[in-house]
Each structure stands twice: as C-alpha cells, then as structure tokens.
Structure 1
Amino acid sequence: MGVSHAQSGIIQGQVTNTDQKPVPGVNITLEGTTHGAAANLQGQYTIEDIPSGKYDLLVSGVGYQSQEKSITLASGETLTINVTLSTSNEELQEIVVQGEQTNKFATDMSEYVAKVPIQNLENPQVYNTVNKNIIEEQALTNFEDILKNAPGVFQLWTSTGRGGDGSGYYSIRGFSIQPNMLNGLPSLTNGSLDPANVERVELIKGPSATLFGASVTSYGGLINVVTEKPYNTLGGEVSYQTGSFGLNRVAADVNTPVGDNEDIALRINGAYHKENSFQDAGFNESFFLAPSLSYQVNDDLSFLVNTELYQSESTNPLMLFINRSEPLEDNNISELNYDNDNSYTTNDLTIKNPVFRLQGKMTYDLSDQWTSETVLSRSSAQSEGYYSYVSTIGIPGNTYGRYINDQNSTTNGTDIQQNFRGDFEISGIRNRMVVGLDFFQQKVINNSTGYIAYDSFDLDSADPVPAISKAAVDTMLANTPVSKTRTEQQVYSAYASDVIDVLPGVSAMLSLRLDHFVEKGSPETDADDFEQTTLSPKFGLVYQPIREKVSLFANYMNSFNNVAPATVGDDILNFEPERANQWEAGIKTNLFSDRLNLMASYYDITVSNIVRQDPSRPNYQIQDGENYSRGVEFSLNAAPVDGLNITAGYSHNDSEITVTSDDALRGRRPERAGPSDLINGWISYRLTNGSLEGFGLGFGGNYASDNYVINRASTGRFTIPAYTVLNGSVFYETESYRINLNLNNFTDEAYYNGWSTVNPQQPRNITAGFTYKF
C-alpha cells in the first residue's frame, strides 16, 4: 500500500474482548510498514511518528480472530481506534474508530444510550451526537452553540441563572428539556455549561424514562453531556480565543500518567471566559476547572472520578415576556418596534452561579460474562444575585415593565446506581443485559425575595428608556419579603434491559422500569407531600438486511410525569401519572467503510392522562387531557472523499393540543414546541497532502421556520419569523498547533428565539484562535 510521507501522526486506543475486558499482548501493526505496538496490561496501545497517509490496520492475538481495517491518517492527527476482539467461536466484532477519523463528525458507539455497549445499527432508538471535532472546528466557546449542530433541537430560552431552572431550555420533538445529565447520570445546574470538558453531546430522542427515569428527561428526549476521560500517556493542549464583543477565552487540557506503571492517570481541563453582550450593557465572566482521575487496580477492578467546578457571574440576557392574558396589540417582531441594541439592564445587576459536580465509578469484572458498575453523582447549583426580566404582563398597551428579585437558591442532587452488565448466551442466543438499581434525590432550598416592579416604559416612545440604578433596586428590595421554601423529591427505581440476538441480523430490546416517587413539599405542612409508583416499558426491534451496513428499526418507548393530588374542599383528588407513548420506525446505514452514516425515522408521540379542569364541576379536575407530537427526522454524516466531511440534519414536527378544558389552546401548536421545521448543516474540507496540507475551510449554518411563541385563541398569535444563519471558518492545523478564524452570522441576520418571549441573538461576529498541542 502506498503511503504519502509528511508530518507524523499518532494512533492510539484500547483492545478489549466481547466482555469489555482488556486484552494484553495483542499486536497492532500497519501492514507494509515497520510501525506497530503491543497492548499493555490494560489493553492500551500507542503508535507514534506515523507519516500521514492510508494504511491497513491489522490487530491480531493468540486465541482471537484477527481484524483488519482501512484507515486514513492526516498530518498531525491523533487517531483513536478502539478494538473489540472475538474468540474463534464468537461473532467477529467491529473496530470502533473515534476522534480524528475519516468520517470525523460521526460517533457510532455509546455506552450510555442503551446502558450496554452496542453499535448504533443495533440500537432501535434514535440518537445524534455532536463530537469534539466539530466543536473544535467551529471554535465554539459556549454550550448553546454546540446544540445548533444537532438535528431537531431548538433553543427556546437561553440560560437565565435563576434558581431551580436557570439552565437553558431546548425543544426536542415538541417538548422542552434542560441539559441536566452528565455521563448518563443526573447532574444539575442553574446556569450554562462550559465546553472545555466536553468530549461529545448525545441527543437521545423520544420518551426515555425506562432507562433514565422521569426527573431529568422529557417526552421528547434528553441531553447527555459526555466528558473527557484520562488516558495513559502525556499529552494535552493550550488554547486562546479572542473575538467580537470583547471575547477573551483561555483553555487548557493536560493529561499525564501518575507513577511508572501507567495504571493511574490524571486529566485536568480548565477555562477562563470573559465576553460582553452585543447590546448596550451585559457581560459574562466564568472560571471552569475539571480534574478527573482513573485508576486501574488490576485486570478486574478500576476506578474513575470526575469533578467539575464552575464559577460564573453575568447579567441576565434580555428576554421580552409577551402578555399571555390579554389580546395582543403586536403580532410579530416588526410591529413590536424593539431596538436590538437595548438591554434594559446595567452591568451592576449581576447573578452568580457556582456549580460543583462530582462523579465516581467503580467497575469490577465478576466473571467473563458479568461486570458490576457502582456509580455516584453529586451536584450542587446555586443562584446568588439579581434576576431581572422585561414584561408586558399586567400592563396595558405597548408598555413594558422591569421586574427584579434577589436570588438566593441552592439545588442539590444525588444519584446512586448499581448496575450489573452481562454478555452471555442462552441456548446459543446472545444476550446483552443490564440490571440496575437507582436512587435519585433532589433538594431545593430557596430564600429569594419577591419581585419588585422597578419602572415601566413604552417601546413606541421616542424618549430614551430611563437608566436603571442598582442603589434604587436595593432600596426597593429591602422592603420586599423573603419567600423561604424547602422541597425535596426522592425516586427509588429498579430496571432491566436485554438486547437479544434472535436470529443473525435480527435483535430485540426488551426493557422495564419500576419507579417509586416521593415528593416532600414544605416542612410546614404535609398537604403537598405525595407518593406514586409506576411501571415504564420499552420495546425495540432491529433487522439488518445487510449486516453491519443497513438496519431497519422500530420501537415503542414510554415516559411519565408524576402528578400531585389536588384538594377541593374536603375532597382529595388523586391522579395516575401522566403518560407519553411513542411509536417510531426508521432506517440507519453505515456504508462505504464508514463514509456514509444516514438515519431517517418517523415518530408518533401521544401524551395522555393530562389533568384538566372538569367542565361539568367548577374547581374539580379530571384526568383525560391529551396532545400529540408527530414528525420525521433525518441526519447525515458523510466523508465522500478524504478530507471532506459533511454533517447535516432536517426535522419536521407537527404538535397539537387535542383534549383540554382551555378553549384558547385546543387544536393549537404548543408554545414549547418551537419551530416546526429545522435544518442544520456543516461542510468541512481539509487538504491532506501537498504544500498546503493541514489548511481547511468550513461552511454551514441553521434554518428555523416560524416560531409561535404565543399561540392562543384568547390573545392571538405572536410569531417570530423564520431565519437562516450562515457561518464560515478558515483553519490551518499541524501536529503541534492549530490556527482558526471563524466568521459567524456573516449575513448579519437579525434573528430571535423564544417561548412566550422574544430573545434577540448575536449579530455578525468574528472569532480568532490559536491552539498549541503537546
């Protein structure tokens, strides 16, 4: 095989068997060359100083079936190739390539989506990933922009920082969700997330309570952030980004083995970020640190500890709250007569959001077929300072008021899981099973003040809006009572899921969860306490007409929401959990040696058991409300030729409230559903040889159709118009450094997000950066 010689790259990874145990002593070679390595006791290997080019990677070991895969290594790239070897009586497993690879925007394997390690083609559930490669190429400095690369995901609200629900809200399949899951475990925040420690973000679609519970998921799906993990060699990078609106960001990623045996590794990610608003006032300043430690005690026992500390101080981003109780005088942005340069705040009114997260995992191989995994997740999120918003609520005409309170809120979360994973055969039929116990606890302590109406102003007036004064705000808040509340919920769960290889190319997933929910409300009364127990099933079927290349799938998935009892006079009305049931079918492909990954599906979600007002009895409620959400989704990751990578997605969602006592909402699209049509795409080309090797260009953007942020018969409809935002990048990368220049929203589109609100987005902006790698 011919090899083009230029600057060298690295190939690294881990070799495991089908029980996910390391396989030491295996030989990994590049055929036709002298480059190769042997796996150590942990199954890990590294091949360095490899010239760029195309190779055949051969993995072989005594007692195992050899595997061979064609790869392409670009100049200065580090290619991570994880290999699962099969013994002579086992079915051949696929080599999993991660990191800088031919199809570098694709991520096939996830240990979190099904809670057992199966390939995407074997999984009857739809999920999309945004990996580190696209985050680096687009030079993304905030979490919100990462999710713009995910098909069918739309930001409803930016992060507000307020207590309880201050992180951003997103719409997936017509339902709102917040990013409160880290490495498959609940992890709470009241603010935004820093991308410095993000390996990839997984968008797991559909009602997913069966495996993940209902507390941090929605009927549309969930957002799982996967963090960087330690490895057993010295390496890392340091980067600096600067740009429009005073952007200054320094980030570092350092990994090192601890000791001489390479059984302990430490990785530290950190970042400092400072950026001003594009408006007349506003800023965000944050510091982030994420140490993680891995310890391979022996062949059977290992530990992993991840921590994150995030300190931020910022002003509230402007969101204009539209009046939801009176007929609208304005029905769109042009009629609103709002000037995007106005923030209606001051840099003296800030909110702080300290966040701490800790995750610990112990993995122990009980046998060749069973593994025990014990995990603990702790998170603490605080809100300290001023929360303000601008609203027409309660004010006639086109008059807006500024409302402010003093936040003092803490949310603590604890999750403990014990999982047993098995890979075994019964009568020659392979089973990949997880059986688990889960305890989740969330406590919210709130000592915030009530809201003050600071002043009011007319958007249509030519007079300037009066400046806001921190001294005046403090004086008004001094006479505002503090609302002291303390709530707690506990969830005790047991679940089991089994992926059964029924026939060659045919597999079925059978899953069930038993969930016991305990709500402890105010300590001053027992009236708001309640308990509820429910079952949540999940079924899936996969047929691969072309093995490891094409799969047809179908699933039934379930989720639920616990509903508190209602008291009417002397009567206590008890309710069953609200239910969401999804039916979905589609196709997935992995063609042309991983160069074409395509997914297309149709889903139908019906939410039932919604509590609504009893039309025949005043003040009473009945449980027969219903709405639906239906749609199609397409996603594509492709590498047609070396150096060219494409990722794209399209989604169409049709949501409607069908059974409700509110005539103003019946038959209408829910305001949380966001736009009905979304398109995302990014095309990247990098030269792989020649004098300009390492030089690349990127282009892409997003389209969103009209968004009905207010949609009620009693008020009318307020529409945020459709928009198209285009971005571009130029970069040059070598083995030791990377230079990037990114132009975002280069057409200077004035566009908005919202959910009963109008939230202006950034105009044209530039980011430039330099990264040093070692």
Structure 2
Amino acid sequence: MKLLLSFSLSLLLSFQSFAQTGKVRGTVLDNTKTGLPGVSVVVKNTSLGTTTDHTGAFEISGITDGVYVLSVSSIGFKTKEIPLTISQNEVDLETVILYAGDEILREVVVEGERENKFSRSKTAYVSKLPLKDFENTQVYSTITNYLLKSQIVTNFDDALKNATGVENLWTSTGRGGDGAGYFSLRGFSVQPKLVNGLPGLTNGTINPANIERIEVLKGPSATLFGNAVSSYGGLINVVTKKPYVGTGGELSFTTGSFGLNQITGDFNTALSKEKNLYFRLNTSYATERSFQDAGFRRSFFVAPSLSYKVNNNLSFSFYGEITQAEQTNPMFLFLNRSAPQHSRNIRDLGYNYKLSFTSNDLTLQNPTQNYRVEMDYKLSDTWQSQTLVSKSATSTKGYYTYLFDFGVLENDTFSRFLNKQNEYTGTSDIQQNFIGDFGIGTLRNRVVLGLDYFSAISTSNGTGYAFYGNVTPQGGVSGDNPLTEKVETTEYPLSTAGVDAVLASQPVSNAKSKYGIYSAYASDVLNLTRTLSVMVGLRLDHFDNAGSVITSDDNYNQTTLSPKFGILYQPVADKVSVFANYQNGFTNVAPALVGNPEDGPQTIKTFRPEQANQIEFGIKTNIIKNTLNATISYYDIRVSNQVITDPASPFNKIQGGEVYSKGLEVELNANPVNGLNIRAGYSNNDSKITKSDNNDILNTRPLEAGSKHTYNAWANYEVSSGKLRGFGLGVGMNGASERYAINYASTGNFMLPAYTVANASLFFQAEHYRIGLKLNNAFNKEYFKGWSTIAPQTPRALLANFTYTF
C-alpha cells in the first residue's frame, strides 16, 4: 500500500509538471444577490467539479487547456451552463446568478470519461448531512449498484463480501425476532437494520434488485442513529432505488446453478411532468434450490416509490417495499458451549456438507413490509426542514429447526429440535431534522439538529421446542432422546404430519412486548479553514421498556448521553486528508434480581447502560482526478460496564465486564485507465475479552469477532473503443484466516479453516442490453462459516444474466 501511494503521488506530480492547466473560480448567487452554499459546479465531460462554500464561492483547479462547458446546478434552481476556454490561465467568472426553476428533487450524479464506478464520495445518510467521504471523519464502505451488476449479485450475503472487514457469521434463518443474517464488523456482530437512513426490518434476506447502494458505517454509531439499529462494530444502511426525471427502466433475467431463476423489472415515469410527479416501480420474483439434498427459497417483492415537488421549497417522497418469501431454514450444526468437543476441526468431524438434515416440507414464510415518507421544506437559503416517518412489519410462520450437540451421545451426535413459529415484529419511527449550512464570520457550519422517536412491538404465538431425532455429520439417524434416561428407537419422519403430531403436545406461547426510545441529537461540522475542519455531536437517548404488556414487573427505563468528536486536515487540498475521531455506542441493560433466596426475598438491582468507546485515526486519498481513492485507518474500541455474575456469589450481578477490539483496515477504489475499475480491501482485527467472571472465556477472542484477517478484491475491465467495444471481464476473490467456532477453556476449541474463494465474469455491454456470465467459487473450494455453529458454503456455481434497458 505504501508503494502504491508513493507511486500514485509521484504520478500525480508528473502530470502536474507536464500538463498545461488552469483554473476557474467565481461566486454563485440567487436573484437577491445572496450567496448560495452547496451548489454543484461541474466541468462537463470531465470528472472535475466542486460545491460552493457557505458564501457561494467555488474554485476548480487542474483543468487541462481546452474549451469546456461549466454546469452550475442546485435543487430548486434552473441549471446554468457557461462556455469557457482554459489556456494556462485563471478564469474568474465573478458572479453567477441562478434563478428558481422547476427541477424535481433528485441527486446530481457526475459522470466523465474516467468515472470511478466502484466509489461514491457523497451521501446524505452517513452523517445526516450532504458531506463528502473526503470531508467525513468517520470511515465507511460504499457498495455501488454498478459493482453489484458487474458481479451479477443475486443475494445480500454476496453483496456484503465487497465491504472491507465484513464477514458473514451466519446467513438468514428466517426465524422470528432475529432471523436476518448476522455479520462480523470490527469484532462485533451486526445485522442490517437500516433502510434509507431509517429503521427497517427483515427476517429473510434482502433482495439486491432494489438496492442503489449499501453503506457500511464503521465503529460505534449511536450518536446519530441510536443503539436500536447499530452495534459496537458499526451499522449497515441499505439505500433503495428512487424516482428520477425521465422515463425508462430495465428488465433482467438471471439463471444459474442449483435451480436459480430470477426475473426483475425496473420502470420509471412521470405521472405529471407539469406537477413534477415521478413514479418508479421495482419488482422481482426469484426461486433457488439448495446445493444440498434438500432446501429452497422463493421470494417476490414489489417496491413502489414516488417523488413529488410541490414548489421550489416543498417536496415529498414515498418509498415502500412489500416482500413475500418462503424458505427452508438453513441447518447449522450448533456446537455445545458447555461440554467437551469430540472433534476439533472439520476433518475430525467428517462432515458430509451435501446433507441438509431437513425436508422441503418444513418451511418458513417471511412476509415483510417497509414504508417511508419524507417531507423536505426549504426554510431559507441556509436552513432546511426534513420530516421522516417510517414503519416496518415482519412475520414468521412455519417450522423452525436446529441441530445441537448435547455432548451426551457418542460420535458427535446432534439432536434435532423444532417448533412451529408464529411471530410478529413491528416498528415505527418519526424523525424531525433541521439541516443548516451557514457561515459565522469566515467559518462554514454544516449542522443537523434532530428529534427521533422509535418504537417496537413484538408478539409470539409459537409452540415450544420438541425433540425430533438425532443425526450424525455423516448422515446417521437415531431416535434416542438425550434428555431422557431411557434408550429410545422412535422414528422421526421429516414430514409436516409427523412434526405436527409431536408439536401437538407442546405449549403455545401468548407473549407480547414493546419498548420506545425518545432521542434528541445534534451534529456540527465546522470548517476552521478550507483544509481544517472539526466535528462534534451529541445524542440524548431515553429508553422506555414496557416489557411484557401484561405485567409491569419487567418495566424499566434508562437515559444515556452519547458524544462524538472528530478532526480532519487536508495537507494536500482535495487530494489527501488525515483524520481522527472518537465515537460512542451503548446498550441498555435490564435490572436483575439479586440476593440469596435463602436469606430472604431477592431485590431488584439496576445498572448503567453498557458503553463502547472508539478512538480511530487514518488517512483518505482522492488523487489523480478522483481515480484513486484509498482509506487507511486504525481503530481501538473498548467496551465497558458489561453486567457479569459476581465471582463471589452466583446470586449477585456486578457491572464491570470488558472487551477490547483493535485493528487496521485498508480499502482501495481505483480507475487507473479508462474502462478498468478496481476494488480491494484488507482488515486485521484483534479482539479479546479482558475482564469477566467466566474463566471459560476470559482472555479469549469473542466468537462473534470472526476471523482475524479478511480480504477482498474485484477488478472489472470493459473495452471502451474499437471492434471489441463493450466486451469485458471481471476477476476477484474473497478470503479469511482460520477462526474459532468454539473456544472455551472447559470445552476446548473447534477451528474452522482459512479459505480463499475466486470468482470471474465475462460480459458484453451494448447501448440497450447487457449479457453476462459469472462463475462463483471457481475452484470449487469447500469452506465454512460459523458462530458457535458450522455452516457449509455454496460450492462452484455458474450464473447467466440478460438485461435490457429502455
């Protein structure tokens, strides 16, 4: 990486030495002669551009001699195009006047001959401000829609393989409450719970056909987003496709190994051009079989979205996604956390990973709905009001099964347990943000002030879990229940009739719980100079847990302050920035009953919220006209105030457990020549439980931390001229070091092996269609994931895609 950066900087200096360049500057005003901040100023047909500061001033340098057109645009104003000539000089436009116009609210995308299609430098979700990545003291990875298309991605797990430092712990199970996939990020588990910057739920996998991009924020992010949607390692935000000005769309069909068939549609049109009302509809239907002897998934979703601009100051938008999915839940081998392991690795276990240990009769249904309404109102030239409302609902109905090693039966025998699920979770969120971009003297302030109310309600009407036979990793079966003394030989057929007969004697739950979170937050990015900025943020969070609605015994509430600080300096303006940050996360801890029952009635003991604090520093580069973006960062996260059992008394709880996680991350997005896009990442994480009363886990790596080393790379080249124009190929790989599935002093450990998986693609891109072939796991690598579990991964698979755009 050092050599790469040195070479890139040298190349940049060489270009600057030999190329004849000039610059353009000016000030953008409205018709009242007031400076307009945040206006997009772009040199058309190049990748050069900038935004105006709080006074409306701008400057673009490094423009090669020639004739150009300067495009000046802003929400609510008519775009102005200005011809200019650069000839080793500075062009001073003095003032540019923009007048109110009829353009609908939409994101401005700059495209040039050398576009870095794997990188996106600006988002309004990460900081709740329109802040470029280069200006942000927080680290985040962006997975663009172009990258997903180039890899013919058909599932969310594969999409997240492109995020540096993210590793799949286990795939979506579909079970109630926490059926979405789990991922390891900076040593902590995280689930995707954010859609378009607001809480969004899924018990099944997210369909990538409606994804515009995925944003993975690194480190504790509770200050702006709260703890309901984030973890100490970070959070995952899914940005969906939105309406745009114009009419168009695409139809796509993908087919492949293991019965994969997926058809998707995307259609955008104006319902009323005069009233600036635009509508977009995305939809998909997909079916896929498992690579094992049983298992399948089928899903259908429809995602309507609407954008309506009432006038130059007021606009509305609506987004919805309705998903119907049915699947067999993936079967993990759950290792025993309290009994010694018979085997220490996959080889000893003798696992026949082609066996599913389930049946296509035993399925789960996962209907899910996510809705969002947004109102944007321009209060003045420097302040904007943003009102957001979101609602989500997800259900689970059907049979959920898992395999668990009790350690009682011989030869690594796993017992099957199952229940019939009938679960529901619903959330509501209301946010009010006031966003400002103004000056105090010569200092530019970008501020967000927000209020947030989040509520969640859950119901459970499923049955209890019942024993349903045993299996061995090699495929053996038996009916001996490890929870009974008697040796049994009962047969357990994998059919709905057999399962229903056993579950008929199980009790049915009738539970309902809810909680609410009231929050106020503020964040300010202050530019002390053009190249030096500081960021400060604070969140006041009040957690009100009602627990079970039929009793008040489990009610409790807690109030927490969550601060955030950052500083960023650009030693080379708009090319290199160095940054440091402090970020905070927290978890509310429920009260517990303490005291020896033999000494009298137990009493309630309350606790402070668990805290996570991160210190991070690093460097970001944006060199050679935005064709080489690199981020290198080092982080140190310390979790404190964990509630643990008192070593002196099993009837007492004390607050003092600690976890330490530190690491290095490197991410590179490059466009070295026209048509070639490269993305690569490496992560090194060192996690340890440094304080606990449980000697089994003290000084060990947490199981949720995943592998110590992870890495990913993808290069995509498309011929841009000549007879082979439109043809292209892509190559890449993902890998991780060995990791513990189990690692306790009393049980020993079970190690999952390291792996490197190679992928490749071929494609032809024409004006209105694209044909592509993709080979996943090209060398048919046998590898596994897990989190106290063992989950085999998909072997070699071939995919073919045809897409038509109009």
TM-score computed with the length of structure 1 as normaliser: 0.89
Find out whether 1:481 has 2:493 as its counterpart: no
Find out whether 1:469 has 2:490 as its counterpart: no
* Correspondence for 1:602 among 606, 624, 634: 634
- 1:112-131 to structure 2, matched below 5 A, reads 112-131=125-144
Per the alignment, in what secondary structure is the counterpart of residue 344 of structure 1?
Answer: coil
Find out whether 1:58 has 2:70 as its counterpart: yes
- 1:40-189 to structure 2, matched below 5 A, reads 58-60=70-72, 97=110, 102-189=115-202
Per the alignment, in what secondary structure is the counterpart of residue 637 of structure 2?
Answer: strand
Q: Deviations over 1:511-535 (max 9, x none)?
A: 0000000111112321211000010
Partner of 2:432: 418
Contact 2:355–2:475 (CA under 8 A) maintained in structure 1: no
Segment of structure 1 superposing worse, 491-500 or 477-486: 477-486
Contact 1:491–1:518 (CA under 8 A) maintained in structure 2: yes
Find out whether 1:447 has 2:461 as its counterpart: yes
Contact 2:388–2:431 (CA under 8 A) maintained in structure 1: yes
Contact 2:261–2:288 (CA under 8 A) maintained in structure 1: yes
Partner of 2:554: 528
Per the alignment, in what secondary structure is the counterpart of residue 521 of structure 1?
Answer: strand
Per the alignment, in what secondary structure is the counterpart of residue 449 of structure 1?
Answer: coil
The offset of 1:503, in angstroms, is 1.8
Q: Distance in 1 between matches of 2:222 and 2:70?
A: 41
Per the alignment, in what secondary structure is the counterpart of residue 515 of structure 1?
Answer: strand
Per the alignment, in what secondary structure is the counterpart of residue 266 of structure 2?
Answer: strand
Find out whether 1:508 has 2:534 as its counterpart: yes
Per the alignment, in what secondary structure is the counterpart of residue 135 of structure 1?
Answer: helix
Q: Distance in 1 between matches of 2:789 and 2:346?
A: 11
* Correspondence for 2:299 among 286, 289, 311: 286
Partner of 2:103: none
Find out whether 1:337 has 2:343 as its counterpart: no
Q: Deviations over 1:272-299 (max 9, x none)?
A: 0000000000000000110000001100
Find out whether 1:320 has 2:349 as its counterpart: no
Q: Distance in 2 between matches of 1:262 and 1:29?
A: 29
Q: Distance in 2 between matches of 1:187 and 1:562?
A: 20
The offset of 1:396, in angstroms, is 3.0
Find out whether 1:652 has 2:684 as its counterpart: yes
The offset of 1:701, in angstroms, is 1.3
Find out whether 1:552 has 2:578 as its counterpart: yes
Q: Distance in 2 between matches of 1:57 and 1:724?
A: 48
Find out whether 1:233 has 2:246 as its counterpart: yes
In structure 2, list runs of 5 or more residues that go unmatched.
1-27, 47-65, 86-92, 99-106, 480-491, 595-600
Q: Deviations over 1:122-166 (max 9, x none)?
A: 100000000000100111111111000110000101000001000
The offset of 1:100, in angstroms, is 9.4
Contact 2:471–2:477 (CA under 8 A) maintained in structure 1: no
The offset of 1:20, in angstroms, is 7.3
Q: Deviations over 1:290-330 (max 9, x none)?
A: 00000011000000000000000000112111111101111
The offset of 1:29, in angstroms, is 5.9
Identity among equivalent pairs (%):
50
Partner of 2:789: 757
Shift >2 Å, 4+ stretches: 15-23, 26-31, 54-58, 60-70, 85-90, 94-101, 393-397, 457-467
Partner of 1:7: none
Per the alignment, in what secondary structure is the counterpart of residue 403 of structure 1?
Answer: strand
The offset of 1:570, in angstroms, is 3.1
Distance 1:428 1:22, change over 3 A: closer
Q: Distance in 2 between matches of 1:147 and 1:67?
A: 42
The offset of 1:394, in angstroms, is 5.7
Contact 2:681–2:711 (CA under 8 A) maintained in structure 1: yes
In structure 1, list runs of 5 or more residues that go unmatched.
1-14, 32-53, 71-84
Distance 1:372 1:563, change over 3 A: same
RMSD of the TM alignment (CA)? Answer: 2.6
* Correspondence for 1:623 among 651, 655, 658: 655
The AA in structure 2 aligned to 1:128 is S
* Correspondence for 2:216 among 197, 203, 211: 203
Contact 1:321–1:393 (CA under 8 A) maintained in structure 2: no
Distance 1:418 1:587, change over 3 A: same
The AA in structure 2 aligned to 1:565 is P
Q: Deviations over 1:78-128 (max 9, x none)?
A: xxxxxxx996799xxx99636996211011101011111111111000000
Per the alignment, in what secondary structure is the counterpart of residue 780 of structure 2?
Answer: coil
Partner of 1:726: 758
Per the alignment, in what secondary structure is the counterpart of residue 134 of structure 2?
Answer: helix
Q: Distance in 1 between matches of 2:111 and 2:212?
A: 11
Distance 1:757 1:742, change over 3 A: same
Contact 2:69–2:81 (CA under 8 A) maintained in structure 1: no
Find out whether 1:253 has 2:274 as its counterpart: no
Distance 1:461 1:739, change over 3 A: closer
The offset of 1:188, in angstroms, is 1.2
The AA in structure 2 aligned to 1:400 is F
The offset of 1:30, in angstroms, is 5.7
Q: Distance in 1 between matches of 2:78 and 2:422?
A: 62
The offset of 1:537, in angstroms, is 0.2
The AA in structure 1 aligned to 2:286 is H
Partner of 1:679: 711
* Correspondence for 1:499 among 506, 525, 528: 525
Distance 1:505 1:271, change over 3 A: same
The offset of 1:471, in angstroms, is 1.2
Distance 1:566 1:549, change over 3 A: same
The offset of 1:457, in angstroms, is 2.7
The offset of 1:557, in angstroms, is 0.3
Q: What number of residue pairs does the alignment pair up? A: 719
The AA in structure 1 aligned to 2:394 is A
Distance 1:68 1:184, change over 3 A: farther
Q: Deviations over 1:356-380 (max 9, x none)?
A: 1100000000000100000001000
Contact 1:19–1:423 (CA under 8 A) maintained in structure 2: no
Contact 1:151–1:633 (CA under 8 A) maintained in structure 2: yes
The offset of 1:383, in angstroms, is 0.3
Contact 2:351–2:473 (CA under 8 A) maintained in structure 1: yes
Q: Distance in 2 between matches of 1:301 and 1:285?
A: 41
TM-score computed with the length of structure 2 as normaliser: 0.86
Partner of 2:566: 540
Q: Distance in 2 between matches of 1:686 and 1:56?
A: 27
Find out whether 1:670 has 2:702 as its counterpart: yes
